[in-house]
């Protein structure tokens, strides 16, 4: 696999795996996406620390709301991650990457309530069964969300500046912090709004099948992560020359999709019972 430095024995293999995981903060050799699992775990621990600090600050300064505190820590975390990137500083366990990712994790926590309000059946929290309002008024929240999704994707396409060296795993964020933030914001907003709208669509067969596929992926995300990487690894080793050709490169996506569909068990979806 052209690994450098060259691995000549068991001890070399163990040493470079341990160094890659615990010093460089990346995946073990041949296990590309597992860095993401470790990052999610470490960022969750860091966020717990943020919550503890936030509660302490609220005790000292009662007028300071938790959202403001978390927002301040999020900005400081992003600045720290960016400065470490710009100065090419690498920390054990990939902490420089965790600081960048933690910013988005905390932004997600701050945006929970607005997203819940956005997902209401009607704008202004009116019940769908209320006959006082027209159909347009009752689905105004869904239409607003669809508009947000469309605008977000258009703006994402406008501001995004693809960089071949971009890598969250290595905390390589691109040349401009503004473009990095804008493209990330519009991309995430577009995806969230799209999923909210999709959840409200009529449950006809094609939509029901699509929802089932997405639910299955979400329930088995870690398994999908490992299986898709293993399939790509095999393709790279055996069919690299064929898949490097422009006309056949897209086949890897089809092969991965079929492989995951066959591998991942597709259990029927049973929503949890709700109490009136």
Write down the pLDDT at residue 121.
57
> 3-class DSSP state for residue 239?
coil
Write down the pLDDT at residue 104.
95
* Exposure of 37 in the CB half-sphere (CA atoms within 13 A): 13
Q: For the chain, first and last CA: distance in Å?
A: 59
Please provide the average confidence, as pLDDT, over all residues in the chain: 81
Residue pLDDT, tens place only, 219-245 = 888 788 888 888 888 888 888 777 777
Burial class of residue 226 in the structure, from the number of CB atoms within 10 Å of its CB (0-12 exposed, 13-18 middle, 19+ buried): middle
C-alpha span between 263 and 197 (Å, rounded): 29
The two structure tokens encoding residue 250: 């897209």
| 33: nearest Cα among 144, 169, 160 | 169
pLDDT at 270 over 60: no
| 217: nearest Cα among 175, 255, 266 | 266
The most confident of 63-67, 187-191, 248-252, by mean pLDDT? 187-191
| 120: nearest Cα among 186, 199, 190 | 199
Write down the pLDDT at residue 276.
44
Range list of β-strands (E), 69-112: none
Phi, psi of 32 (to 5 degrees): -45, -60
Q: Which of the residue ranges 126-130, 165-169, 191-195, 233-237 would you say has the lowest mean pLDDT?
A: 126-130
Q: Which of the residue ranges 74-78, 84-88, 211-215, 242-246 would you say has the lowest mean pLDDT?
A: 242-246
Evaluate whether 264 touches 227 at the Cβ level (below 8 Å).
Answer: yes
- Predicted TM-score (pTM) of this structure: 0.74
pLDDT band at 198 (very low <50, low <70, confident <90, very high): confident
Write down the pLDDT at residue 273.
54
Residue pLDDT, tens place only, 24-53 = 888 877 777 778 888 989 999 999 999 998
C-alpha span between 68 and 74 (Å, rounded): 10
| 39: nearest Cα among 179, 222, 183 | 222
């Amino acid at each position: 696999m052209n690994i450098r430095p060259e691995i000549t024995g068991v001890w070399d293999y163990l040493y470079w795996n341990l160094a890659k995981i615990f010093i460089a903060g990346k995946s073990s050799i041949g296990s590309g996406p597992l860095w993401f699992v470790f990052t999610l775990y470490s960022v969750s621990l860091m966020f717990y620390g943020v919550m503890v600090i936030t509660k302490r600050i609220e005790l000292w300064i009662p007028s300071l709301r938790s959202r403001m505190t978390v927002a301040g820590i999020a900005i400081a975390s992003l600045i720290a991650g960016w400065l470490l990137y710009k100065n090419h500083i690498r920390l054990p366990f990939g902490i420089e990457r965790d600081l960048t990712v933690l910013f988005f994790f905390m932004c997600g926590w701050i945006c929970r309530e607005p997203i819940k309000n956005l997902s209401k059946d009607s704008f202004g929290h009116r019940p769908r069964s209320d006959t006082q309002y027209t159909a347009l008024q009752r689905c105004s929240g869904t239409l607003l969300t669809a508009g947000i999704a469309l605008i977000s994707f258009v703006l994402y396409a406008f501001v995004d500046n693809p960089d071949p060296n971009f890598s969250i795993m290595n905390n390589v964020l691109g040349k401009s912090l503004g473009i990095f933030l804008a493209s990330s914001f519009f991309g995430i907003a577009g995806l969230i709004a799209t999923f909210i709208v999709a959840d409200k669509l009529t449950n006809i067969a094609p939509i029901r099948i699509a929802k089932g596929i997405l639910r299955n992926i979400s329930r088995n995300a870690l398994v999908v992560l490992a299986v898709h990487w293993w399939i790509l690894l095999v393709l790279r080793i055996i069919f690299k020359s064929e898949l490097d050709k422009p006309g056949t490169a897209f086949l890897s996506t089809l092969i991965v999709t079929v492989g995951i569909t066959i591998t991942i068990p597709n259990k029927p979806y049973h929503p949890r019972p709700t109490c009136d």
